Amino acid sequence: MEIGSIGIVGAGQMGNGIAHVCALAGYDVLLTDVRQEALDQAMDLIGRNLDRQVSRDKISAADRDATMGRIRTTLAVTDLGPCDLIIEAATEREEVKHAIFAELGPALADHTILTSNTSSISITRLASRTDRPERFMGFHFMNPVPVMQLVELIRGIATDEATYAACQSVVARLEKTSATAEDFPAFIVNRILMPMINEAVYVLYEGVGTVTSIDTSLKLGANHPMGPLELADFIGLDTCLAIMNVLHDGLADTKYRPCPLLTKYVEAGWLGRKTQRGFYDYRGDTPVPTR
């Protein structure tokens, strides 16, 4: 089917980035959140990010204006019902996602494809609670969405070929690359990335290295653009912990046990950049290691 309109649930870090790239690619976008403040902040951030692209000659001023004109916002999630494609990008908690899809259900058009931007939760399980498991799949963008080129497409056990093909065509129109993943905990990227981050936290926890030495070692020794602890702060330590718990619970292997230090940081509310403290303290001009 031809996708013309895209509804996005959640105006946070991922949702506003998805709205940005979809509108820039010419799709009509309807963005929803439970808070008007979140929607206002998202629109402001999208505008500033588009301005940055204009200043770098990535897009024209006319492109920027047209993109902003294609994005509408609403506080009512049911307003998304008529959209051709809906991308859920709410918080990484399964019960929240189930509640969103349940509220959307009665309002959906017969042809609407449902997708989730989840980074780790079972697509088959999410789909099974809807009225359209054959038109449901995982649509996992990387962060920051306007910059990162990969989108993981995850089929649930019931996802049909037409749904997969439609989502694949959207990724191509966004000028990104799709990677197909099977529906197992954390899919491909996070199945590999999160245990690396968790191991870096263990190295810190056991006193093998400091925050600075660990990040420097991976940046210069493995040619990573960011160290694992810096990256964890960027992603959000609560998200990292949630994904490690999904891996540990879903695969029942002790190698996925979350490091106690990661749990402790999350319990403290030190979640990384979004709370100004994580493995680094971001409250000053320069990030300072917290251990």
Query: Tokens standing for 248?
Result: 């540990």
2 is catalytic: no
190 is catalytic: yes
Non-local (6+) Cβ contacts of 15 within 8 A are 8, 9, 31, 33, 42, 89, 90, 117
Q: Tell me which of 116, 120, 190, 198 is the catalytic residue.
A: 190
140 is catalytic: yes
**101: nearest Cα among 73, 140, 136:** 136
Q: Tell me which of 5, 16, 119, 120 is the catalytic residue.
A: 119
Q: Tell me which of 152, 178, 198, 230 is the catalytic residue.
A: 152
111 is catalytic: no
Look at the block and give the residue holding tokens 């695969």: 251
Q: Tell me which of 140, 178, 198, 230 is the catalytic residue.
A: 140
Non-local (6+) Cβ contacts of 90 within 8 A are 9, 10, 12, 15, 96, 97, 100
User: If 0-12 CB within 10 Å is exposed, 13-18 middle and 19+ buried, where does residue 55 land?
Assistant: exposed
**Which residues are catalytically annotated?**
119, 140, 152, 190
